[in-house]
Amino acid sequence: MIKIGITGQEGFVGTHLYNTIALFPEEFERVDYDISFFGDEVLLDSFVLQCDVIVHLAAMNRHNDPQVLYDTNVGLVQSLIGSLKRTNSKAHVILSSSSQEEKDNLYGKSKKEGRELLILWAKSVGALFTGLIIPNVFGPFGHPYYNSVIATFSHQLSNGESPQIQVDGELNLIYVGELVTEILNKIRENTTNTAYLVPHTATAKVSQLLLLLQGYKSAYQEKGEIPVINNAFELNLFNTFRCYMNIRNHFPVKYIKHTDSRGSFVEVIRLGVGGQVSFSTTVPGIIRGNHFHTRKIERFSVIKGKALIQLRRIGSDEVLDFYLDGDEPAYVDMPIWYTHNIKNIGNEVLYTNFWINEFYNANDPDTYFENV
């Protein structure tokens, strides 16, 4: 069992890494961290002593005063090295640096100097060190105006704002889930690599990103359609956009019900992708689900009976309750990294239609069980 501590656990990449590690309980164990540890040597030393691996993500990405940013980032590395020395630790340290290392700015300089300081420490004690030089990272739950232009555009579009392009540059991108996989692979390899260039998985101009995101807003948020998705990058971008919508206010979405003497007709979903459609009957009082996905797009449509659909973001205690009634057919979509369930709260059998964007694969189900 490898004990992993993550400085910056509360941040964008840190949250995704922390949650993903929990999916491998027989391989990894998480060591609890809090941002306050860097203000208390006793707490920091106690944290370091527990770790076989330390993934150092704690850093400042933006600040009005570049000198404050530089001093903060270098200072955090120095504090970590001080603790490593006091505890005689030989933990494998993995540092997240940036492709901005070679640019003429204090942020890039702070990341490069931090990496060089840890190289010297590792050589002096015979420890393993991995320096990750990372391209632009995007994904769900990043902070707009801070983590990435994709986070900013997604936030603005989903809230009815009009994004503005400042510089239409070309970006080398990696999805946060792909970056987490790279980090876990480096932990498993257990070797030194002082300057590992994490490969980007997509390249796009800022204007291209905005055009795609505008398309998602128009098709999905405004019309309820699943857009055309041509590749893994577009799936990751679409899932990212979905997580910036106000889920509580958006769902459930009522269908348009056409009724005549023969009965009723409801169009359930318009698709730009394939996938799998199924339905279930659920007897009163029974709960289905209590699981989450990390990549799948899924829609629950209640067509008969009364249901309670619940969602909870992994790592959060807030439960979102949605009440649906087949007399007014409606749907709720499941965001990634939200555990979800559906319960029959009526007195008759519940009929539910399920759509998911990929066929079920028992060898790669992307289904993780956790009670809402």
**Is residue 341 one of the residues assigned to a domain?**
yes
91, 117, 134 — which closes off a domain?
134
β-strands 298-304, 170-175: how paired?
unpaired
Question: Residue 134, exposed/middle/buried by CB under 10 A (0-12, 13-18, 19+)?
Answer: buried
Mean pLDDT by 10 residues, the chain (372 residues): 97 97 97 95 98 96 87 95 98 94 87 95 98 97 94 97 95 98 97 96 98 98 96 98 97 93 90 93 96 97 97 97 97 98 97 95 95 98
Which CATH number goes with the domain that contains 299?
2.60.120.10
Sign, CA torsion 138/236/307/324: positive
Q: Which amino acid is at 7?
A: T
87, 102, 134 — which closes off a domain?
134
The predicted pLDDT at position 108 comes to 86
The predicted pLDDT at position 62 comes to 80
Q: Give the number of domains in the chain.
A: 2
**Is residue 26 one of the residues assigned to a domain?**
yes
Contacts of 68 (CB under 8 A, 6+ apart): 60
**Is residue 142 one of the residues assigned to a domain?**
no
What is the model's pTM? 0.94
63 C-beta neighbours (distance < 10 Å), count: 15
| Burial annotation 252-267 (CB, 10 A radius, 16+ → b, else e) | beebeeeeeeeeeebe
N-term to C-term CA, the chain? 27
134, 164, 187 — which closes off a domain?
134
Statement to judge: residues 7 and 130 lie in one domain? yes
Alpha-carbon distance values, 361 to 186, 276, 358 (Å): 27, 11, 9
**Is residue 151 one of the residues assigned to a domain?**
no
For the chain, state the CA radius of gyration: 23
**Is residue 87 one of the residues assigned to a domain?**
yes
Convert the pLDDT of each residue in 164-177 to its tens digit.
999 999 999 999 99
Alpha-carbon distance values, 164 to 34, 149, 247, 283 (Å): 36, 10, 25, 51
Report yes or no: 301 and 331 within 8 Å, Cβ to Cβ. yes
**Is residue 30 one of the residues assigned to a domain?**
yes
Which CATH number goes with the domain that contains 49?
3.40.50.720
**Is residue 310 one of the residues assigned to a domain?**
yes
* Spatial separation of the C-alpha atoms in residues 371 and 364, rounded to whole Å: 21
Report the half-sphere exposure of 156 (CA within 13 A, side-chain side).
16
Sheet strands side by side (includes 276-282): 253-254, 330-334, 298-304, 350-356, 276-282
The predicted pLDDT at position 103 comes to 82
Supply the range of the domain harboring residue 90: 2-134
**Is residue 199 one of the residues assigned to a domain?**
no
